[in-house]
Structures are given as structure tokens and as C-alpha cells.
Structure 1
Amino acid sequence: MHWRADDGRDLHGWLGGDPDGPLVAVLHGCPDTRHVAMTGDGAAREVGVRLLCVNRPGYGDSTVHASSHGSVADDLAAVATVLGHERFAVLGMSVGGAYAVACAARHPDRVAALGLVATQPPGARTEEVDLLAAELSAEFLAWRAGVDPFDPDDERLARRWLTMLPEEDAALVAARGAQAVAASVREALACPDGYLRDAALQHRPWQHGPAEVACPVRAWFGEDDDRSPADRVSGLVAGFADLEVTVRPRSTHLATLVAHWPDVLATLRDPVSGPGG
């Protein structure tokens, strides 16, 4: 699906789940896209949630843009308005957590709940985003060449991608089939701008912090996640006023969300559909 930002930019996304349910908006990880939300479609229908994910600038068909955590948050809120949802929950996966925090902070009258899954901590670099992106570019492009997202052979591309993932995550991704896996990889990596903007912003402090979030926050981390280790939880989530943290036993990075969609979505649904939601 496509929507238009106020300044004319194209916003490329996916909408699924229960069309009559309260909205949960997913902020995807990096490199990732709306495809991660597609893995929750069945669970969203099961628990009665409408599920949305909008690709950040540079991913898929979303127009390349000098985005920030705040601008992405505002784009998402604008799409929710177009869809007719005054109140909604946001769910940040991995790098998407910083954008989800920004959305809750900037739209406190609209975001009823904030979910964080395998969220990675903010960075400490202070250079301009464009300078950081330029610094990261050569290494990223070399890595991307090894993935070869332009390979037209779905099976071959999917196999290369799956070998880069932990065994539990790879099994969950592979279950979607080679064509879907290849499509998601191409959408995430064909344009370098999406990844590089995300990576540069991740090296910097978050634009908005936990103290600016007033809504309930529910966070999930995986015991076996090597990207967002559970032992970092206390420092990462310090400052949220209303917080509950769950550590999933024996769960790797992506599995912390994809293997637990019904629980995550039901948890975020209730504050939106309850009184005042």
C-alpha cells in the first residue's frame, strides 16, 4: 500500500490483521521492512488487531528523505489518521524501538501503549547523520554485495540470507517460503539509503527519551539474543514511568517477536480498546 506525506513523499507500507480492530503500528528493524509485520497477520486476526507497518525512507518505495526519529514518528501518526485511527499502539522492533519511543513522546494524546521488542540501546556519537552514513557506507556496501539482493533467483537469495541468521530466527523466516524471503531482502537492501540512515541514527542518542513517554510501556527481550542482550535491559529501559519487562527464555533476536505475536499484540490491544482508548 502507498500513502502520501504532507510534503508529497511516498510512504510505502502494509496493512493487515482485523480491519475492525484497534490499530497497532509496527516500526521495523534494520535492515528490514513492512515484511516483518506480515508475519503477524494471522495472529493479528486471531486477537482482533489491525496491524500496520510503514517502510522508513529508503526502504522499498518509501521516498529517500533526510529523516529523523521524530519525522518517522510523525509520518506514522499521519498514516494512522488517514486510516481513521485517533488512538493506536506502537511497537518498535530492534532499531525500530527508537522510532516507537519518539512516536509515543511526540503524540501522547494518541499513542495508548508502547511496545518494545529486542530494542537496541542508543548510541553516543555526535557527528552529523550524513557524516556517519558516509563513514558506514563502504562496509555496508561490501556486505550487501555478498548478500546480492539483485540476484533474480529467489531460492539462492533466500539461502544466502538464512545462513546469516541464528537457527531459530532462520527457521521462522524460512517458513514464509523462498519467494517471500527474497522479496523482503530485496525491499530492505536494494536502496542503501534506508539502512545507512537507520545505522547512522542508531549511532547517535535517541531524539526522545523514556522520560518523555507517559503511556504504558511493555518490553520483551530474548535470553539468547546476541544483538539486544537481556543483560542490558535495566539501563535501556530506565526512565519509563509505567513499565513491564518480559525476558523470553531461549529466544533469539527475531524470534522474540515472530514466535510470540499473539501475546505481544493482545498486550498492546487492551490499552487501545479499553476505556479512554
Structure 2
Amino acid sequence: MRFHAADGRVLQAWVGGDPDGCPVAVLHGCPDTRHVAMTGDAAARATGVRLVCVNRPGYGASTPHASTNASVADDLAGVVDELGHDRFAVLGMSVGGGYAVACAARHPDRVAALGLVATQPPGTREEAPEELETEIAPEFLRWRARVDPDDPDDDALCARWLSALPAADAALLAGRTPSEVAASVREALADPSGYLRDATTMSRPWAHGPELVRCPARAWFGELDERARAADAAALLAGFAGVRVTVRPATTHLATLVGHWPEVLATLRDLSG
């Protein structure tokens, strides 16, 4: 599906789950896209949740843009409004957590609950985003070349992608066809600008701190997650009022969400009232 931001930019989205259910808007990780929400479709239908995920600028068909935590939050709120929902929960996966916090902070009368899954604490770099992007780009582009998202061979691209994931995370995607995995990788990496904007944004402090969040908040971490360590939870969660934290035993990064969709969605549904 395609929507439009207030300034006319295209926003590519996926909407699934129960069309009459409690709306939960997912802010995907990096590099990732709306495809991560698709893995929760069955759980969303079973738990009475309408699942929404919007590609950030530069991912898939979403227009590249010098996005910020605030602009992404407002884009998402606009899409949910177009879908006819006044109130909704937000779920930030990994890098998406900072954007989810911004959405809850900027739209306190609309965001009913906040979930953070495998989210890293705010960054500390103070340089301008453009300066950070120049620093990050060479290494990212070398890695992208190894992944080779332009390869038309779905099987080969899928194999390269899965081989780079922890075994537990790769196993969770085994139920998807090579063409589905390849489509997700291409959508995430065809345009480098999406990743680069995310990487610079996560390197800097959040523009909206947790002290601005008024809704109930929950956080989930994986014990074996090296990208968002449970040991760093204190730095991430400082300032939230009464956030409840769950650490999944023997769980890696992607598995913290994809392996536990039903419990995460049911929690946000119940917190949303």
C-alpha cells in the first residue's frame, strides 16, 4: 500500500492482521522494512490486532528524505490517521525504538502504548547527520556490495543473507520462500539512503526523551542479542515511568520479536485498552 506524507512524499506501507483489531504500528529495524511486520500477520489475526508498518524514507518505494525521529513519527501518525484510527500502539524494533519513542512523545493523545523490542540506547555523537553519513558510508557500501541486493538470483541472495544471521534468527525465516527473503533484502538495500539515514540518526541522541512519554511502556530483550544487549537496558530505559522489562532466555536479536509475536502483540493490545 502507498500513502502520502503531508509534504507529498510517498510512504510505502503494509497493513495486515485483523482489520477490525486494535491498531499496532511497527517501526522496523535497520536494514529492514515493512517485511518484518509481515512475519507477525498470523499472530496479529489471532490476537485481534491490526498490524501496520511504514517503510522509512529511502526504503522500498518510500521517497528518500532527510528524515528525523520527529518526521518519521509524524509520517506514521498520518498513515494511521488515514486508516481511520484515532488511537494506536507503537512497537519499535531495534533501531525503530528511537522513532517509536518520538511518536509516543509527539502524539501523547493518540499513542496508547509503547513497546520496545531489542532496542539500542540513544547514541552520543553530536556531529551533523551529513557528516556522520560521510563517515559511515564507505564501510556500509562495502558490506552492501558483499550482500549484492541487485543480484537477480533469489536463491543466491537469500542464502547470502541468511548465512550472515545468527542461526536462531535465520531459522525463523526458514518458513519464507527465497523470493520473499530476497524481496525483503532488495527493499531494504536497493537505495543506500535509508540505511545511512537510520545509522546517522541512531548515532545521535534522541530528540525526544522517555520522560516525554506518558503512555504505558514495555521492553523486551534477548539474552544472546549482541546488537541490543540486555546489559544496556538501564541506559535505554532511564527516564521512563514504570516501564516493565522482559529478558528472553537464550534469544537472539530478530528472534526477540519474530519468535514472540503473540505475547508482544497481546501485551500492547491489552495496554491499549
TM-score of the pair, normalised by structure 2? 0.99
Gaps of 5+ in 2: none
Equivalent residue runs for 1:84-233 within 5 Å: 84-233=84-233
2:203 maps to a residue whose letter is: H
Other-structure match for 2:71 = 71
Equivalent residues of 1:34, 1:54 under 8 A apart: yes
Residue identity (%): 70
Which SS does the other structure have where 1:200 is aligned?
Answer: helix
Equivalent residue runs for 1:224-243 within 5 Å: 224-243=224-243
Alpha-carbon distance in 1 for matches of 2:174, 2:209: 35
Other-structure match for 2:13 = 13
The total of aligned residue pairs comes to 273
Report the CA distance between 1:131 and its aligned residue.
1.2
1:152 maps to a residue whose letter is: P
2:125 maps to a residue whose letter is: R
User: Aligned Cα RMSD in Å?
Assistant: 0.6
1:192 maps to a residue whose letter is: P
Report the CA distance between 1:271 and its aligned residue.
2.5
Equivalent residues of 1:169, 1:252 under 8 A apart: yes
Q: Deviations over 1:222-275 (max 9, x none)?
A: 000010111111221111013100000000000000000000000001122x2x
Q: Deviations over 1:151-183 (max 9, x none)?
A: 001000000000110000001122212111000
Alpha-carbon distance in 1 for matches of 2:175, 2:89: 27
Gaps of 5+ in 1: none
1:20 maps to a residue whose letter is: D
Q: Deviations over 1:8-58 (max 9, x none)?
A: 100001000000001000000000000000000000000000000000000
2:62 maps to a residue whose letter is: S
Q: Deviations over 1:85-134 (max 9, x none)?
A: 00000000000000000000000000000000000111111111111111
Report the CA distance between 1:83 and its aligned residue.
0.4
Other-structure match for 2:32 = 32
Counterpart check, 1:81 vs 2:70: no
Q: Deviations over 1:190-231 (max 9, x none)?
A: 000000000001110011111110100000000000101111
Which SS does the other structure have where 2:25 is aligned?
Answer: strand
Alpha-carbon distance in 1 for matches of 2:131, 2:174: 36
Other-structure match for 1:247 = 247
Alpha-carbon distance in 2 for matches of 1:55, 1:130: 21
2:111 maps to a residue whose letter is: V
Other-structure match for 1:61 = 61
Q: Deviations over 1:52-96 (max 9, x none)?
A: 000000000000001000100000000010000000000000000
Which SS does the other structure have where 1:174 is aligned?
Answer: coil
